[in-house]
Structure formats: C-alpha cells, structure tokens
C-alpha cells in the first residue's frame, strides 16, 4: 500500500536536498551542558567480565530469526518488545555499571544483554502532570523535553518548599529544568525519552499527523518503518511548529526533521497502547560544495583504520527494497573523541565503497556515555541516475543536554530566585537574588528533614558560590547550607539539588500526600506501572491510507 505522507519523509535527506535553508553554524551554545555532575552512588551491579579481544575486527553477527515486522507493517506492534519495569535504583545502578566498563565493545554487548533501553522505572511521578492542576505554581524552562519525572518525596519537598518560600515572599517564582526522563536511565545528548500513550495529551512533538483520529501512540506506530534496526517514525515540520522552541532556530520556515525511535510498548492501566520512544530533532545542514562530504569520508576511512570497531551487525531497514537487512558498523576513536556509524547495503570488505552507503553518522564521542551521540550529523547520499556522482545531504541534531546524573528522580535543576523573577535559566549571575536564593536553600533543607528525607547536595557554579561567600560570610557563617553547597561549573544559570530518601515509609507517605492533592485517576499515577506482559496480538492498528 502507498502512504504518501510517509513517502515524503522516508528519504527526507534526498528529497529535501534542494530546500535546505540552514548553514554550518555551530551547535546551540546557549544550552550549556553540565560538565561535571555529582558522582552517583556506588553501583551494586558488578561489571561483566570483559570479552576476549579478537585480533581481527569481528564479523557481523548472524542475523536473528525473522521478526514479525518482516511480514510488514501489520506485524510491527508484535515486533516491538514490551517495556520491562524495574525499581528506579536498579535502573540507575545498571546504567552506572555500564558507564564503568572501559572496553567499548563490551559496553555494546552489555547494553544489548541488559535490555536497558526497554527498561522503565517504577515509582516515579510526572511532575508536569501535577502542574496541569496548577499546583504548585512552578515555571518551566521548556515545554517539550519531558525530563520531568521525579520521586514522590522529591515532588513533595518541592511543592511544600515553594509554598513556604511564597508564604515569606509571595511574589517569588521558581522554574524547573531537567528532572529525570521517562524510564530513568541516562540522558543522552540530543535524545528525549518519553512515554506516548493513546490516551495521553498531545504536544508539539507528539507524533506525525497529530490531528488525526487515532491516539498519539497509534499514529506513531502507523507511520513507523524499520530504520537501522529500529521502528522509526519521521515527520518534517517547519520551525514555526515548534512553538517557543522555534527561537532556537534561525528562521521560522527552516525545516526540522523529527524522528521517533520506538524502544518498547505496553498498555496503560486503562488499556490504551503506550510506547516508550526516543525522540530526536534535526535541522538541515547546508552543504555548498563537496568538500565537507569529502572530509566526512576521509574521517570515516581514518576511523575504520585507526578506531575501534565496537559494533557490527545486520539490521532490518525498510528503506531498501525489497525489505532486507543492511549492514551496520560503529567505530569509536576515544583519543580523538570521535565516533562514526555507517549503514551499508553490502557487507564491508577491505575498502569503503561510498556507493553502497545508505546513511552515515558522525558524532563526538564521550567516555561514560554509552549510546550518546553528541553533535550528531546524519549524512544521506543521493545519486543521480545519469552520473555516478553522490550528492550528500546532512542533518544536524538539535542540542539536548546529556547529564551524567538525573537518572532516577533524585535530582532537580532549578532556577535561582532572581530579581523580579527575570532571567530564569539565563546566564546572568547579577540577576540572582542572593538572600532569597539562600533562604530557598534553607527551606529545601528544612522541608526535606521535616519529611524524613535530606538534601544530599546543592550544586552551584564557583562564581555563584563566591557571590554567596561575599554576601553571607557575616550573617550565615555557621549555616548548614555551606556543607551542602558544591562548586561545580555549569551551574551559573541554575542550581542542581539532589535529595536522598532514606526509607520506603516516607515514600508511601509522600504518595498519599500527592494522591490527596490530585485525583487517583490522574495520569500522573496512571501511566507507568509495573506490568510485564508477553507481546500480544490484539487490535493491530490499520495502517493509514
């Protein structure tokens, strides 16, 4: 069957070669990443024994047996594995164990074995869903990232703390940045992990055809095809569709490619389909000459020669006709901090054959960030029939911070209290209201302790710490807060607080407190629940025509 809407986006790199409007500007520098987050608690999961190193690069693994998806779109839902629900700390520990493995080949092997990308965590609540009830009156740095999951006790500390602060200073506002993402686990650069449910709310990056009659999850499923081994839905929108986020792009008619990779699936308690997806967004990269593509190919040959091949496998990809498996290879070069992935129509022989490439990924490489591709650029080749020339088009990933922490609902990025509530999350330390921000730290500490939890640490930038030191050295010399403050770069536009919850009784009390504030059927408690079901064959959504 023909789905015109899909076809327009399938070979988006080639079709839109003519209409790319961007240029090779540097990645969004305004979003300063948190270079050094606090180290997380010691992992209880021990690293697996390293695999024996082979002298020659490994052969791609034998393809697994045919998936239901190989029978086409109608088999897609059965092919997507069910979400595995685990306690939040188990998920956090598993990711931390993965980061400690030095050999990249082993990291990949372990990532597959541990099924971490399918795993989601129990016991967190969506703080944004609380906000739908307008309680508490927090502001938000952004509306789309869904990095908004948090432990019930941390939510309670934030709610009660802000209430207390506003009793003392009624006009004060605070904004929330990243908490944890859906499913816990690491926050990869450029990737937003979200639950998308058929009965869930719609948002700007919810899914393709968002005004159609199906729910958001079914829409994504209907639009998905296998790409690089993953069921993937793409949509091409103009920057103006991104709402407030459009300000991150140069013009409102710039194209943005939104891609949803489906990681796992399940049913909500109300029986609606939900998907755990990783969403990435890309903007076109204007390539005025063949030079940048030539450089990319040169880099590729270099990494093939000098880098480490960490993954080689056959993957399902529906871009090829007839639908068949393509060859995926991934090299890293830790010293140069580079990584590249290719998808090839043929098995790689000694020499690289650009004419066989389907897609190339180039990215920086960062230690301890498995499956993260900071600064990713995707390259798509286009061939004209009458010549052998390959024209390359590039798409650059839209920046999203990649944290080392914010894994399991203990961490929150919050704005400082600022003068006139202006400039939350903007790097202007002169706008920080030092007295009121200090009072906020005290309230966080007091509220946590009154609930049986405790503030483990508050990260502030060294420059901000010096401001506090200068201002508070007389009045607050002996304050407990000094013991909680840590000087860590990157925290000049926000502070990072980690709250530890010592026992389960406190969590139960917090859940009761939150349930008292919000109706039981609120989606905040509804969506993630521990169910492990075998894949079923229910009402497979009909592909759209």
> Which stretches of the chain bind Zn ion, using CB under 5 A?
413, 496
Minimum gap (Å) between residue 44 Cβ and Zn ion: 23
Cβ nearer to Zn ion, comparing 38 with 60: 38
Minimum gap (Å) between residue 465 Cβ and Zn ion: 16
The DSSP element (H or E) to which 511 belongs, if any, is: helix 504-517
Minimum gap (Å) between residue 45 Cβ and Zn ion: 23
Q: Determine the residue with CB nearest Zn ion.
A: 496
Cβ nearer to Zn ion, comparing 400 with 413: 413
CA-to-CA separations, 74 to 64, 71, 234, in angstroms, rounded: 20, 7, 18
Cβ nearer to Zn ion, comparing 145 with 283: 145
Minimum gap (Å) between residue 126 Cβ and Zn ion: 18
Sign of the dihedral through C-alpha 79, 80, 84, 90: positive
Task: Sort strands 485-487 and 454-460 into parallel, antiparallel or unpaired.
Answer: parallel
CA dist 128 and 528 (Å) reads: 14
Cβ nearer to Zn ion, comparing 339 with 437: 437
CA dist 329 and 317 (Å) reads: 14
Cβ nearer to Zn ion, comparing 88 with 287: 88
Cβ nearer to Zn ion, comparing 96 with 219: 96
Minimum gap (Å) between residue 342 Cβ and Zn ion: 34
CA atoms within 13 A on the CB side of 232: 20
Nearest to 528 by CA among 193, 103, 49: 193
Cβ nearer to Zn ion, comparing 256 with 401: 401
Minimum gap (Å) between residue 436 Cβ and Zn ion: 21
Cβ nearer to Zn ion, comparing 310 with 497: 497
Question: How many C-beta neighbours within 10 Å does residue 305 have?
Answer: 10
Residue 302 has φ and ψ, to the nearest 5°, of -65, -50
Minimum gap (Å) between residue 406 Cβ and Zn ion: 6
DSSP, residue by residue, 281-335: EEEEE---SSHHHHHHHHHHHHHHHHSEEEEEEEEEETTSSS-EEEEEEEEEETT
The DSSP element (H or E) to which 263 belongs, if any, is: strand 255-267
The DSSP element (H or E) to which 196 belongs, if any, is: strand 192-197
Any idea of the CA torsion for 126, 130, 132, 133, to the nearest 10 degrees? 160
Minimum gap (Å) between residue 42 Cβ and Zn ion: 20
CA dist 228 and 69 (Å) reads: 13
């Amino acid at each position: 069957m023909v789905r015109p809407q899909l076809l327009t986006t399938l070979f988006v790199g080639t079709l839109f070669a003519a209409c790319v409007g961007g240029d090779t500007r540097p990645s969004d520098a305004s979003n300063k990443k948190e270079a050094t987050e606090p180290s997380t608690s010691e992992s209880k999961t021990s690293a697996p024994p390293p695999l024996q190193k082979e002298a020659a690069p490994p052969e791609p693994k034998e393809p697994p047996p045919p998936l239901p998806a190989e029978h086409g779109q109608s088999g897609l839902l059965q092919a997507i594995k069910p979400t595995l629900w685990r306690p939040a700390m188990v998920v956090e520990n598993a990711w931390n164990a993965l980061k400690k493995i030095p050999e990249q080949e082993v990291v990949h092997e372990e990532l597959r074995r541990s099924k971490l990308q399918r795993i989601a965590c129990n016991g967190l609540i969506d703080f944004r869903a609380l906000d739908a009830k307008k309680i508490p009156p927090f502001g938000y740095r952004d509306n789309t990232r869904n990095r908004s999951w948090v432990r019930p006790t941390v939510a309670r500390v934030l709610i009660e703390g802000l209430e207390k602060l506003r009793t003392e200073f009624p006009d004060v506002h605070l904004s929330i940045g990243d908490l944890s993402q859906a499913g816990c686990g690491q926050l990869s650069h450029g990737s937003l992990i979200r639950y998308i449910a058929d009965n869930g709310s719609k948002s700007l990056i919810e899914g393709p055809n968002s005004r159609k009659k199906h729910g958001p999850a079914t829409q994504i499923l209907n639009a998905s095809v296998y790409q690089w081994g993953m069921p993937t839905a793409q949509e091409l929108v103009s920057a103006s569709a991104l709402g407030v986020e459009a300000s991150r792009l140069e013009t409102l008619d710039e194209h943005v490619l939104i891609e949803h990779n489906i990681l796992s699936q399940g049913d909500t308690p109300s029986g609606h389909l939900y998907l755990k997806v990783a969403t990435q967004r890309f903007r076109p990269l204007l390539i005025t000459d063949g030079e940048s593509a030539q450089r990319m190919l040169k880099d590729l040959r270099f990494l093939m020669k000098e880098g480490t091949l960490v993954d080689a496998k056959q993957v399902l990809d529906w871009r090829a006709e007839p639908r068949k498996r393509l060859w995926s290879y991934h090299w890293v070069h830790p010293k140069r901090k580079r990584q590249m992935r290719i998808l090839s129509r043929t098995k790689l022989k000694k020499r690289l054959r650009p004419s066989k490439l389907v897609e190339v990924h180039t990215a920086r490489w960062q230690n301890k960030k498995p499956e993260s591709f900071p600064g990713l650029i995707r390259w798509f080749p286009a061939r004209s029939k009458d010549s052998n020339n390959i024209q390359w088009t590039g798409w650059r990933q839209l920046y999203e911070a990649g944290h080392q922490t914010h894994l399991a609902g203990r961490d929150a990025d919050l704005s400082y209290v600022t003068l006139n509530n202006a400039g939350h999350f903007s790097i202007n330390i002169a706008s920080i209201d030092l007295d009121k921000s200090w009072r906020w730290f005290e309230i966080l500490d007091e509220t946590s302790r009154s609930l049986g939890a405790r503030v483990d640490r508050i990260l502030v930038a060294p420059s901000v710490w010096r401001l506090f030191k200068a201002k508070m050295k007389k009045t607050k010399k002996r304050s407990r807060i000094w013991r909680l403050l840590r000087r860590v770069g990157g925290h000049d536009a926000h502070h990072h607080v980690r709250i530890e919850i010592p026992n389960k009784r406190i969590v139960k009390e917090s859940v009761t407190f939150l349930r008292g504030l919000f109706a039981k059927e609120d989606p905040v408690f509804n969506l993630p629940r521990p169910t492990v079901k075998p894949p079923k064959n229910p009402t497979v959504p009909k592909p759209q025509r």
